[in-house]
Structure 1
């Protein structure tokens, strides 16, 4: 059975620090050291479940109009988005609260958590 390992997201030069802060402070990923051949080209982050987000520095980065990365999050997500000054919209979807936001590089995220959590 396939198991998700990582998503690779583009980030324009100069936004890699802000993007890293979003992943660490808002989404609660932790920073990993990329392989030696990718230092300065890519940044790697890992969630508690072992899934990863890789960032590739891309001078031609253009965020997709509709594509997004969806992850499960905890109940504190809206407070962390507010603290980071990141705009979002949330709504109910069955037994879930689904929050959409854009990261500093303009990549879209779908943040999912159970209602009441």
Structure 2
């Protein structure tokens, strides 16, 4: 299940405030579930390298953002964790960036 941990890290950048969890249904099928801060969710079964049916509730755009992140990760050559950096500016603003091309994402403030 941990095959794509670097992608899960990237999802955190693309979906700030969302939770990424594993869901196991009554039949024992495991799925990756994204839970948005607004209550929306999207679930995709983990079927190896194959594809499964995505189910969702609430905002259908939640899964579209997952697909955008997947495309970016694949286009970038599936970078590992060590290809990302973190910086916190003097004003408290924080960003994570992809070292190879400077693509960056804001890190939301917690408080």
The answer, yes or no, to whether TM exceeds 0.5 is: no
TM-score range (shorter-chain normalised) is 0.3 to 0.5
Question: Normalising by the residue count of structure 1, what TM-score does the alignment of the two structures yield?
Answer: 0.33
Question: Normalising by the residue count of structure 2, what TM-score does the alignment of the two structures yield?
Answer: 0.35
Q: Which has the higher strand share?
A: 1
Q: Greater relative contact order: 1 or 2 (C-alpha under 8 angstroms, separation 6 or more)?
A: 1
